[in-house]
Chain A
Amino acid sequence: MAELIVISTLNGVLFGMLLFLLSSGLTVIFSMMGVLNFAHASFYMLGAFFGYQLTRWIGFWPALVLAPLLVGAVGMAVERYGLRNTHKHGHVAELLLTFGLAYAIEEIVSMVWGKSPMDYRIPAALDFPAFTVFSTNYPAYKIFMLVVSVTIFVALLIALKRTRVGLIVQAALTHPSMVGHLGHNVGRVFMLVFGVGSALAGLAGVIAGPSLVTQSDMAGLLGPILFVVIVFGGLGSLPGAFIASLLIGLIQTFAVALNGSLASLFGPLDPGLGPSPLTDIWNVTVAQIAPILPYLLLVLVLIFRPMGLLGTRES
């Protein structure tokens, strides 16, 4: 039991930090531009695939730097030539544009790389067990992922709180027109933020690719969870996104590790009852309902605290 708790906590924090790499960009983009970027998870997927391809060509470490930069460039192009032109048609049109993009990116990826999982391997330098807890070898690569995500988190925090650019970004979050009046190029700030957000998503993809599965449906699997994270944390709240990321990461990891069901807790139902929704619910294991837990959480939070954990905005 202790082993399960320690390992699941480590994995959960890791998954949570990975979620935060994605949700931080998403939530900053949302609060600045009012655009919920549907294609954010697609940038994560692009990161993984670029990382895979560049790793094959020039090795993992250059890919770790180059792939996020490439994804960031794609993101900036999307902002400059797509979103900025669509802005005049309103937020719904912008949301739909990113929805169409997510769709197109998934199709392009499966067109170029196929639909089957990629052989994206952990670099040899990190392919060893870091330490052993209760007879389980914990891979060094996961520690590396954790270190990278925490580093980025700290860097992001410093950049937002301690630098001039961060100051402008923070100001543009709440008062974009005032920032424009003060002579800052808000359009360029938007493009930059969009680029950095996409690059962070790309970085998450590069480091998650070898550990999780690099496949053309990875964006579709992660995207909805990402939206749950930022709605749960409160739209536009960075600390909220952080707490929600960790929480959902931990919940999902623990749920997957648990094999209990109502049947194992209270004993099996009378077999004479026959199949019914009750027997389905009775026999389903916690691991099986892990995929729907985030959405259940979303519904609960919407009923009891519609603005999310730390959100302040009504809509």
Chain B
Amino acid sequence: MSNAASPAPAVTKEEPGGALSFYGVWLIAAAALVVLPLIFSSGGSLTSFSLIGIAIIFALSYNILLGQTGLLSFGHAVQYGLGGFLAVHMMNAVASHNWPIPLPAIPLIGGIGGLAFALLVGWVMTKRAGTVFAMISLGIGELVASSSLILRSVFGGESGITTDRTALMPLFGWTFGPQLQVYYLIAFWVLISAIAMYALTRTPLGRICNAVRDNPERVEFIGYDPHVVRYLAYGFAGFFAGIAGGLTAINFEIANSAYLGATQSGFVLFAAFIGGTAYFFGPILGAILVTYLQLGLTNVTSVSLLYFGIIFIGIVMFAPGGIAGLLMKHRPLIRAGSLGMVIPSYLVAAIPTLAFALGAILTIETVARYSGGEGEGSTINLLGIPFVATAPATWAAAAFLLVGGYLVARLTWLRVAEAWDRAATVARDRGYLA
């Protein structure tokens, strides 16, 4: 995480056509957001895109804390959920009073809700960073989640509070009843929020946040109060989390106490960290991947959460830069043209690694089916091959893939490391620092 600040300035200096490529990325993103539903127009994919869009805002807002300012929060869903609740209440109020507020403005209300709560509790919370902040955020998260069940009139108890997004005044003939219109509403907010959050990282405040993350003591020496900086970052993160919450409320037309809970906080932590916190686009990748996996895996397996945990542990242990970190590691090699030296070793390592992964999946599924045995039958369909969970042949296959894959993969990854060293040396000789 500490190397986050360095790559960005280097980019702007090296590329003379920087402005074009800089705005080009956002234009391409905008175009992609517009075109996506035209290509994949089924109801299911529209719902997925909407959820992914919300997850992107949520994960990016989380990264203001974890990636930019170095604050590990276990209760980020509080701002998200409170934003969602405020949005729902606002929608109901607007609908019943016929106020001239269109639906696209509602997420802003959610954002203000998140911001207000962040500013309320943030001053005490951000006094200290590190482990203490993590614990306090966990405690506040539990406090709010439990309180939401007591304050039934505001939070609607177990069932939550419902609303009707079409009851608000239509905008340019759009009632936001169909999912497609909701998708475009979400896409609009994704783009706006992403640009705003990126801009935030380029402001002096964003820079001083990075400094607070890396060395709070020196920040104090140059005349800034790290506490204030953390507080501001916490406020901004709360604001954008609230926007995500407001969008969720619009998307599902309901807000309930699950929005505030530990599961949601864990989800955003997974998304941001798996994607990679050191780069701005990391959480976007993570949000897309984790949401996609979440939607896809639940139909296939009963233990989808276990896979999340394992992927997360794997990333923490072997690639703490996340997916974005892994990708960006290859940048100097691509520029130096020495990427070709590592590709063969990757291909060789891929086979036993894949075998190991399949063995792990087969083992988990076998155990799950064998001990659970709830409903879905004991046949595991892996790559089109049916495995019977009770058959010793399946156990043998799982053990063989797991152990054999692990042993061979270890050897091949040593080769990858050697090839990597050689390629990195070449890149360094050609002047691209790896």
Contacts and interface: CB of A to CB of B under 8 A. Distances in A.
Interface of A: 30, 34, 36, 82, 85-86, 89-93, 95-97, 99-101, 103-104, 107-108, 111-114, 220, 224, 227-228, 231, 235, 275-277, 279-281, 284, 288-289, 291-292, 294-296, 298-299, 302-303, 306, 314-315
A95 B62 CA distance: 17
Interface residues of B, number: 49
A279 B306 contact: no
Contacts of B146: 291-292, 295
Contacts of A228: 139
A87 B371 CA distance: 35
Given A93-B316, A224-B139, A302-B136, A315 B129 contact: yes
B275 to A, nearest CB: 14
A93 to B, nearest CB: 5
A113 B371 contact: yes
B131 interface: yes
B24 interface: no
A89 B303 CA distance: 29
B153 A89 contact: no
A36 B153 CA distance: 37
B128 A314 contact: yes
A108 B303 CA distance: 8
B196 interface: no
A296 B131 contact: no
Given A92-B1, A103-B266, A299 B139 contact: yes
B150 A99 contact: no
Contacts of A100: 309, 312-313, 316
Mostly, the B contact residues are helix
Contact of B131 (A91, A107, A279): A91
Interface of B: 1, 70, 72, 74, 124-125, 127-132, 134-136, 138-140, 142-143, 146-147, 150-154, 262, 266, 269, 273, 302-303, 305-306, 308-310, 312-313, 316-317, 320, 364, 367-368, 371-372, 374
A228 B74 CA distance: 14
Contact of A315 (B72, B128, B364): B128
B150 A292 contact: yes
A226 B136 CA distance: 12
In the complex, which of the residues B153, B302, B303 has the most CB atoms of chain A within 10 Å of its own CB atom? Answer: B153
Contacts of B262: 220, 224
A306 B127 contact: yes
B50 to A, nearest CB: 26
Mostly, the A contact residues are helix
Nearest to A290: B146
A86 B316 contact: yes
In the complex, which of the residues B127, B136, B139, B372 has the most CB atoms of chain A within 10 Å of its own CB atom? Answer: B139
A90 B367 CA distance: 34
A99 B305 contact: no
Given A82-B313, A103-B309, A281-B151, 15 more contacts: A91-B131, A92-B70, A93-B316, A97-B316, A100-B313, A107-B306, A111-B371, A224-B142, A227-B135, A231-B132, A281-B150, A288-B150, A292-B147, A299-B143, A303-B124
A107 B316 contact: no
B308 A103 contact: yes
Nearest to B305: A107
B320 A95 contact: no
A298 B320 contact: no
B88 to A, nearest CB: 16
B403 to A, nearest CB: 16
Given A82-B317, A100-B313, A281-B151, A111 B138 contact: no
A-B CB proximity, top 9 nearest: A104-B309, A295-B143, A107-B306, A103-B309, A100-B313, A100-B312, A275-B153, A292-B146, A298-B139
A62 to B, nearest CB: 23
18 contacts: A36-B131, A82-B313, A85-B317, A93-B316, A99-B266, A103-B305, A108-B306, A112-B367, A114-B374, A224-B139, A224-B262, A231-B135, A280-B151, A281-B151, A288-B150, A294-B139, A296-B143, A299-B124
A107 B303 contact: yes
In the complex, which of the residues A95, A101, A276 has the most CB atoms of chain B within 10 Å of its own CB atom? Answer: A95
Nearest to B154: A277
A107 B143 contact: no
B253 to A, nearest CB: 22
B306 A111 contact: yes
A92 B73 CA distance: 11
A58 B373 CA distance: 25
Contacts of A292: 142-143, 146-147, 150
A295 B139 contact: yes
Nearest to A228: B139
Nearest to A291: B146
A34 to B, nearest CB: 8
Contact of A277 (B129, B138, B151, B316): B151
B372 A235 contact: no
Contacts of A276: 153
A315 B134 CA distance: 11
Contacts of B317: 82, 85-86, 97
B375 to A, nearest CB: 13
A299 B150 CA distance: 18
A37 to B, nearest CB: 11
A229 B337 CA distance: 55
B300 to A, nearest CB: 15
A226 B391 CA distance: 43
B397 to A, nearest CB: 20
Nearest to A295: B143
Contact of A95 (B72, B128, B153, B367): B72
Given A86-B316, A295-B142, A302 B124 contact: yes
Contacts of A95: 72, 131, 134
Nearest to A35: B131
Contacts of A294: 139
